Amino acid sequence: MKQLNAFAADLDTAAHTATATTQLSDHNPVDLADAYAIQALSIDRRVDRGERIIGYKLGFTSKAKMEQMGVHDIIWGRLTDKMEIISGGVLRRDQFIHPRVEPEIAFRVSRRIEGAISLEEVFDYIDGVTCSLEVIDSRYENFKFSLEDVVADNCSSSAFVLGKWLPVETSVQNLAIAMNINGEEVQTGNSAAILGNPLDSLVQLSRMMERYDAAIEVGDVVLAGAATSAIALKLGDRVEGQFEELGTVNFTVA
Ligand code: OOG
Ligand code: MG
């Protein structure tokens, strides 16, 4: 337990000071349950500093992401209020190690999810859908990690921007997605890349969280996982996500 706490402290310090650290798996192999325990302990440290958990994100729900990072299991992490950037806002480059951006779809939870739900039930549990850009920033050197490493590191979660909330009737299936940086199209994809249907991300999340005795609260945001691989960010970049049906979302790196 003491050692898990020490790993959590290292990862939290790496995030807090924007300084890369070595992979856990290099010297201290931990299993997946330990990795989720380290994640929870590292988030406790953020909460102790005044941050609030406002949702969850999934990782590796698309082939593009699995192949880019070499991890082939779906994972989940926690989002805090400090990670949210208002659309049109600024991402401070000096607060991140080697940030990357990826296009996502987001849901807003309207009824507490404790235990697994089915795809047929999803609409009983959400009251909004929107588009999003997620900024990931692995705390590990060279953005390299094992499955357990990345879970312990809260799935590289570091920032996210949400579009305008839309009614749940808005289709999220089979939507064209484009991501532009400084006016140049750097990624194109389709929401079907996310588990065939992004709504399934909520089902997968509910199943995984059930195993860890965790619940999703009313008002929480869920990011379904990126539809394309991620792109490295640099100072001065203006990033825009364009989503069929869902609109646009953007931020600037300063
Ligand atoms: C891990 C996080 C994966 C996604 O959308 O698949 C993720 C990483 O790639 O660093 O956020
Ligand atoms: Mg993501």
- The model's pLDDT over 113-124, given as tens digits with 9 standing for 90+, comes to 999 999 999 999
Average pLDDT over residues 152-172: 98
**65, 79, 205: which to mutate for ligand 1, most atoms within 8 A of CB?**
65
**62, 66, 136, 149: which to mutate for ligand 1, most atoms within 8 A of CB?**
136
Banded pLDDT at 1 (limits 50, 70, 90): low
* CB of 60 shorter than 6 A to ligand 1: yes
Banded pLDDT at 29 (limits 50, 70, 90): confident
Average pLDDT over residues 131-141: 98
Q: Strand 100-109 to strand 231-232: parallel, antiparallel, or no bridges (unpaired)?
A: antiparallel
* CB of 226 shorter than 6 A to ligand 1: yes
Ligand 1 atom, smallest distance to 138 CA? 10
Average pLDDT along the chain: 97
Residue 16 makes CB contacts below 8 A (sequence gap 6+) with: none
Degrees (nearest 5) of the Cα angle 76, 80, 86? 115
Ligand 1 atom, smallest distance to 60 CA? 6
* CB of 155 shorter than 6 A to ligand 1: yes
Q: Whose CA is nearest to atom 9 of ligand 1?
A: 69
Q: What pLDDT score was predicted for residue 55? A: 98
User: What's the Cα-to-Cα distance from 94 to each of 14, 24, 190, 230, 253, rounded to whole Å?
Assistant: 13, 24, 32, 19, 10
What are the φ and ψ backbone dihedral angles of 3, each rounded to 5 degrees? Answer: -70, -40
* CB of 105 shorter than 6 A to ligand 1: no
Place of tokens 């203006």: 238
Could you give the CA distance from residue 156 to residue 99 in angstroms, rounded to a whole number? 9
Question: Could you write out the DSSP letters of every residue in the chain?
Answer: -HHHHHHHHHHHHHHHHT--B--HHHH----HHHHHHHHHHHHHHHHHTT--EEEEEEE--SHHHHHHHT--S-EEEEEEGGGEE-TTEEE-GGG-SS-EEEEEEEEEE-S-B-S---GGGGGGTEEEEEEEEEEE--SBGGG---HHHHHHTGGGEEEEEE---B-TTS--SS-EEEEEETTEEEEEEEGGGTTTSTTHHHHHHHHHHHHTT--BPTT-EEE---SS--EE--TT-EEEEEETTTEEEEEEE-
Q: Which residues pair with 53 in a beta bridge?
A: 80
pLDDT tens by residue, 44-74: 999 999 999 999 999 999 999 999 999 999 9
Question: Ligand nearest 64 Cα, by number?
Answer: 1
**79, 102, 145: which to mutate for ligand 1, most atoms within 8 A of CB?**
102
Q: What pLDDT score was predicted for residue 214? A: 86
